[in-house]
Amino acid sequence: MSGLLDANKAGNQRVVEMEVKSARKVVRVVRGQAEQGERRVVEEYPLRLRVNGRELATLVCSSHQLNFLLAGFFRLQGFIDSLDDILSMGVCREYGLADLRIRAELPDRLQPTLTSGCGTGITYNLPRKFLNFHRLTSRSYRSEELFRLMKELHDLAEQYRSHGGIHSAAIGDADGLILYAEDIGRHNTLDRLAGEALFRQIELQDKMLVTSGRVSTEMVAKAARLGIGLIASRTSPTDEAIELCEQAGITLVGYLRGSSMEIYSHEEQLKLPSCH
């Protein structure tokens, strides 16, 4: 698996290269006055997936740290459980092709479902079939820990982001942020987190997930597969996401901004400050 680890270093180098190449000339109009300027824009990178010699899909993603993205994608599709299930992985950046061999055999018939993610995500399982209920016993979280984790996500996003249009997500616990990822697709951020957790051998059971994007059924299904116990977003969840969180025993929080939030499911698992 050394090739996969080497790919991580290349991914870090790619971030710098991407920032240099993504500056575009613009005409900026302020109060009716036009002036020449530059604006960094988001890079859109189509990545074709070839698995066991078979064309599987095309991911639209950001091009850094593709080893994390690929490992997480296949983990959350249920094709692998560990890095040992990946026999080989090679990425040709020039042609946007990832060629993998995995231990498992792909089903003869795969029915891709296009998701609502930016850049159009892909899943090969309907959300309810995709769910893997790790536990239905009660978890316990504190609101101050959640607010702190969302602030850490926001601070990191502001530190590393030189342009808009990028989604970010993080996983953490009572001690703070553990993993951070960003991508043009909000579903890709969770794939990246799942993949990095495999590489770093981090257990995600009962951890908290915070994201900048909308929470959909696909996000909930992926989080449930990882054993995540709480999902929080700065914006709104979908109606089906709320229902799925109820079934999976996941606390779902929306509009988490500053010191306010809205709790949509399993509020009993989130301890609020005592009112006097």
Whether 239 contacts 254, CB under 8 Å: no
Query: What is the rounded distance in angstroms from the CA atom of residue 69 to the CA atom of residue 185?
Result: 11
Of these residues, 61, 92, 118, 245, which one is catalytic? 118
Would you put residue 117 in left (φ > 0), alpha (ψ -120 to 50) or beta?
beta
What's the CA dihedral at 78, 264, 141, 185 to 10 degrees? 40
Question: In terms of Cα–Cα distance, which of 125, 88, 124 is closest to 103?
Answer: 88
Adjacent-strand bridge partners of 251: 230
* Residue 245 bears catalytic tag: no
Query: What is the rounded distance in angstroms from the CA atom of residue 39 to the CA atom of residue 21?
Result: 11
Burial class (CB in 10 A: 0-12, 13-18, 19+), 154: middle
Question: In terms of Cα–Cα distance, which of 121, 231, 255 is closest to 187?
Answer: 121
- Reported as type and span, the H/E element at residue 47 is strand 45-51
Which two structure tokens, joined as six digits, stand for 205? 């059971």
- For residue 274, the Cα-to-chain-centroid distance in whole angstroms is 33
Adjacent-strand bridge partners of 92: 97
- Reported as type and span, the H/E element at residue 191 is helix 186-200
Q: Indicate which residues carry an active-site annotation.
A: 118
